[in-house]
Structure formats: structure tokens, C-alpha cells
Amino acid sequence: MAATLWSGITPASSARGPGLVAQRQSASFFGSDEAATDVWAYGSVPGPVLKVKQGERLRIPVTNNLPQPTTVHWHGLRIRNAMDGVPFLTQAPIGPGETYTYDFHARDAGTFWYHPHVNSAEQVGRGLSGALVVEEAEPIPVDRDLVWLLDDWRLRKDGSIAPFGGMHDAAHAGRLGNVATINGLADETFPVRSGERIRLRLVNAANARIFGLAFGNLNPWRVAVDGHPVVPTPVGPDLVVVPPGGRTDLIVDMTGKPGEKTEIRDLYYQRFAYTLAIPSYADETPVRKDRLGPPRPLAANPHHQPDIANAERHEMVFEGGAMGGLREAKYKGQTLGLRELAGMGMVWAVNGRVIPPMEEGNVGDPMLTMKQGRTYVLTWRNESAFDHPIHLHGHSFSVIARNSKALETPMVMDTVLIRPKQSVAVAFVADNVGDWALHCHVLEHAAAGMMGYVRVE
Ligand SMILES: [Cu+2]
């Protein structure tokens, strides 16, 4: 981990360089070649950090050297529908041996990421993901700006990736791994210097694992969520919860003394708590003596303000899975019992309908058709026994209420975690024309009935 972290962010030229090549290769999560694992990756695990300035254009040829079709989705970026990377809905899959060039402008600053949208559970699960950083015109001054792409892997004893599929993962919490990595390495060591200020960009690229990080007395400032600025606030004793697909930007002041060590623990699944990273202070003179003051807020991204008073309102109810009480649901026009549905690998329903996987020439009907420029308030209710991080493509939304209680400070996001038996209300202006995927980012859930799309026309 250390080597990757110190290298920080790759130069902007990588965004316009030779592009991305999705390929089979090997990776070593434990820093030794003996324990190398066959992965699918964009040249490295994770892929290169693509870095541009806000407003700049990215032109990224993606070559597919995998044994199956692929695409790239630019998670959180509000770009043209044709560049969104959803197979059959926005583009034909990129076949083996083919190249497709993505071309768009980075309108919003912040921390984003990229990953395939074809056979996502396996392709992302085998290692295809990378961070995309869009720099603000005026970033918060820091000593180091680091990406931590968080992931987990389900490895067998011989170090190989365990097979994908199976109803158990799909019907429960998704494919949780047994090895957690930061930037592709399982080493917890994190060399720091006393007194330095770090911007830590957390990206959760795991199929299903929710990270709930305890920073102890480091007490970092949260400055952005899903790329969008929030008023800098110390996280205090709360866990920094990052669901699959989500991002959180922190400003961490390393306030320990030279030679000290501290721990960053993941406590989300309390029975499986573990130490993710051990910041270890170098035996050097502190970078500065006094603790720095609060970071100044980042400038907001250019959003249309939702007109909530005149919004059109809709509800989406997510049901199904194990222990969820769903008895039957509509699938391809038929009402089927949960057991029959499970036999077909489909166990999740939205408003009583299991959404079939999209295929060539048949993407099904939109879950909702919206008018361009109009404000929508969607209430998403999780009636199941499992967490669902719900992700909307092509837009960012303001989370305006949780469990019917209005939030004092709405938060702009693109992936919102909804706990069991809870609800969120999100508001946004449908300002980006096209067909936009709306799905659970537990990738095994998405494949088992929780991925549809909404239309803006
Ligand atoms: Cu889900």
C-alpha cells in the first residue's frame, strides 16, 4: 500500500494518453509475487487515477482485451447519455478486440470513478475499476492529495478469486470479500508525517461491502460527498460510511507525534471489525507546529436548484431478498412466487416488478418518464432486510428527507445508502435528456432484479 499511496495522483496526461485497456493480468494484494492473483484490470489494480481540471475534456479510448464484452461507466459524472456506458441502453457493448472512445467534459469537480457496466458483478469484482479526479479551480490547500480506492476480494486459499454467481450472495448482502484492499494492496501500513494535512478521497469500488471507517482521534473534516462539496464538518465519533459506488472526501490533519502509530478501523459490520490502515508517523520534525484551522468550503458544482414546491412526486419501493417477506412479484408479465423467481436468479423487485436484465433490442420500459427541466421528488423505500445503495445515472440529487423527516441541510449525492425498513426522499431537476440507469449498487442485487432506468425527454 505504501508505495501506491506515496505516488499520489498520476499526472493529467494519463487522461489523454493511450487510454484504458481492459485485460487479463495478475496482481499481488500482499506485495509478493508468490501470492499473485489472476485479475481483470485496466493495466493495474486499481486502474490509473484519471485526473483533469473542472471543465476539461476527456477523450478516452477503451480497448477490450477481455474474453467477453464490456463498457465503461463514469460513475457520478453528469455527461451525455451516449457516453454513460450502459450496455444496450446507451451503447452497444464493446466486443472483445474492439475499441470505443468515450468523449465528454468534466462539468463537476470532485472525486468520481469508472468501472464496467456489463456483467458488472464479475467484471468489477475481478478488478476493473479506477478513480477519476476532477480538480477544482481552487482546491483546498493540502500537503498531500491521496485517493484511497477501497475494495474487497473473495479469495480462495490458493490466492485465486472465488467463482462468481450463486443465489446466496444475490439474496443477502451481496458478494462480501475476505480481503480488503486500499489501492489494490492489503498492507495496512500508511506512512505519514506529523503535522501534515492530507486530502483523502475515499472511493468504494467493492461489489457489496459498505465501509464504515472509524478515524479515532484524527477527527477528520468531511468536505465532499459523491464529489459534491458539503460544509466542512468534523466527523467526530461517527463512522465515515461509504457505500458501494459512493465517495467521501476528507481533510485529515495528522496530529500525532513523530514515531507514533494510530489506527483506522472499519466497524460497519460489527462482528467483522478489522483494521484497515495504520497511519505511522515518520521520525521526522513535524511539518508544522500548530494544528490548522477548519478547511474552507469548496465551491458548489453548477446544479439547477430543484423547485420542490412544484415537484412531481413518485415513490419506488424496493422489496425482496432473504427474510424480506416478499411472496410474489411480476416478472416478464407473469406473477411468480419468490421460489420460482429465485430459480431464475431474480429475487428483488421495484414496485412489485422484478426488472429483467437488459438485452440487445430489449431494455424494457422506463420505470418513470420525466420532462426535461421539471423537478422530481422520488421517495425510495427499502422494505427489505438488507442495505441498498441506490444510484441514479446522469444526475445528482439532493437528499431532502430520511424516514419522512426533512433534512435541515440537503446533501447532493448520486448514490444513497438506504438501510433496511428506511426511506429517503431525493429531489432533482431532470435536466439531462436520455435513458438513465437507476439501480442498487450492490452489484449482485442489480443483476437479480434491481436495475432499471428512467427517461428524461
Ligand atoms: Cu441492493
**Per the structure, how many domains does the chain have?**
2
Segment 423-444, tens digit of pLDDT: 999 999 999 999 999 999 999 9
Per-residue confidence (pLDDT) for residue 17, from 0 to 100? 52
State the DSSP H helix or E strand holding residue 5, giving kind and residue range, or none if neither.
Answer: helix 2-7
Classify residue 48: in a domain, yes or no: yes
CA of residue 304 to ligand 1 center, whole Å: 28
CA of residue 343 to ligand 1 center, whole Å: 19
User: What gap in Å lies between CA 35 and CA 289, rounded to an integer?
Assistant: 42
Strand intervals (E) in 20-115: 20-27, 37-41, 50-53, 57-65, 73-75, 99-105, 110-115
* Residue whose C-alpha cell reads 446466496 in the numeric block: 168
Of 208, 149, 220, give the one whose Cα is nearest residue 1: 149
CA of residue 223 to ligand 1 center, whole Å: 27
CA of residue 379 to ligand 1 center, whole Å: 16
Phi then psi dihedrals of residue 383, to 5 deg: -95, 15
DSSP 184: T
CA of residue 273 to ligand 1 center, whole Å: 22
Classify residue 318: in a domain, yes or no: yes
Of 360, 354, 364, give the one whose Cα is nearest residue 455: 364
Q: Angle at CA 93, nearest 5°, toward 88 and 115?
A: 100
* Residue whose C-alpha cell reads 493495466 in the numeric block: 43
CA of residue 118 to ligand 1 center, whole Å: 17
CA of residue 417 to ligand 1 center, whole Å: 9
Classify residue 275: in a domain, yes or no: no
CA of residue 200 to ligand 1 center, whole Å: 27
CA of residue 227 to ligand 1 center, whole Å: 22
CA of residue 65 to ligand 1 center, whole Å: 30
CA of residue 245 to ligand 1 center, whole Å: 12
CA of residue 419 to ligand 1 center, whole Å: 10
Segment 223-243, tens digit of pLDDT: 999 999 999 999 999 999 999
Identity of residue 417: L
Classify residue 299: in a domain, yes or no: no
Residues 6+ apart with CB under 8 A from 55: 105, 106, 107
Per-residue confidence (pLDDT) for residue 4, from 0 to 100? 32
Q: How many residues does the chain have?
A: 457
Low-confidence ranges of the chain (pLDDT < 50): 1-16
- Indicate the residue among 136, 160, 194 that finishes a domain: 136
- Indicate the residue among 71, 103, 136 that finishes a domain: 136
CA of residue 86 to ligand 1 center, whole Å: 18
Residues 6+ apart with CB under 8 A from 363: 88, 89, 435, 453
Classify residue 158: in a domain, yes or no: no
Classify residue 68: in a domain, yes or no: yes
- Indicate the residue among 106, 136, 166 that finishes a domain: 136
Beta-bridge partners for 353: 330, 350
Phi then psi dihedrals of residue 140, to 5 deg: -70, 130
What three-state secondary structure class fits 269? coil
Torsion of CA 360, 365, 367, 368, to 10 degrees: 120
Q: Are strands 274-281 and 189-192 parallel, antiparallel or unpaired?
A: parallel
Phi then psi dihedrals of residue 109, to 5 deg: -85, 155
The domain of 120 spans 2-136
Classify residue 11: in a domain, yes or no: yes
Classify residue 434: in a domain, yes or no: yes
Greatest alpha-carbon pair distance for the chain in Å reads 70
CATH code (residue 426): 2.60.40.420
pTM score, whole prediction:
0.95
Cβ 222 vs Cβ 200: under 8 Å: no
CA of residue 389 to ligand 1 center, whole Å: 6
CA of residue 323 to ligand 1 center, whole Å: 14
Neighbouring C-beta atoms of residue 119, cutoff 10 Å: 20
CA of residue 253 to ligand 1 center, whole Å: 34
